[in-house]
Amino acid sequence: MNMLESKVIQTKYEKEIFIEEKSNIEINEFRTLDKGTPFYEFMVGLDLIRIRDNEYYGNRESYVTIRISEDLQSLFVIEPDVQSIFAVKNKQEKEAAIELIQYLLVDSQTFKQVVSEMINNLKRENVVNVFEVKEANAKLAVLERLLNVKNEDINFLIRMEKIA
């Protein structure tokens, strides 16, 4: 039997279940340093199964924004404006979502596999000009940093007031 790792966020109305498979993790919208933003930033999307009243209620793609300092030492988890994993959750439910994000960034071997595949794909890309080389090198540095995240590296910038 092949057992899958999963994490459950119990909310007031439903259970949001993250099953740890590569197909349920997405990394996109990568932004590099510029004059207006002295940090790297990208989105991590998680496909969550929703169970309401003990029945399948559909899937939901939820996101979190990850911001990494210019020196690659600090990671900041920020609530995105849309499709946030923290949306419509009270303080305890947000703490469960934070626990899931910490697990993902620090302990999840599946997340590390996704990142490693992105690194390998990036190394195979054919970059042709100085700008593309610079951007690819920055993206590689950030992705390689994600392979070695520790709990103490992560700072959560999430509003914790009760909204649900």
Burial of 118 (0-12, 13-18, 19+ CB in 10 A): middle
How far, in Å, CA of 132 to CA of 88, rounded?
Answer: 39
Contacts of residue 140, defined as CB under 8 A and 6 or more positions apart, other chains included, come to 119, 122, 123
Element (H, E) at 64: strand 55-69
pLDDT of residue 161: 58
pLDDT of residue 54: 93
Average pLDDT of each block of 10 consecutive residues along the chain (164 residues)?
83 95 95 84 97 96 95 94 92 95 96 97 89 90 96 88 50
pLDDT of residue 25: 97
pLDDT of residue 102: 97
How far, in Å, CA of 22 to CA of 83, rounded?
Answer: 20
Q: Which two tokens stand for residue 151?
A: 């709990």
Supply the pTM of this predicted model: 0.90
Q: Which two tokens stand for residue 114?
A: 């996704």
pLDDT of residue 164: 44
Let me know: does 136 contact 124? Beta carbons within 8 Å.
Answer: no
Tell the residue number behind the tokens 């899958």, with chain if given: 4
pLDDT of residue 94: 95
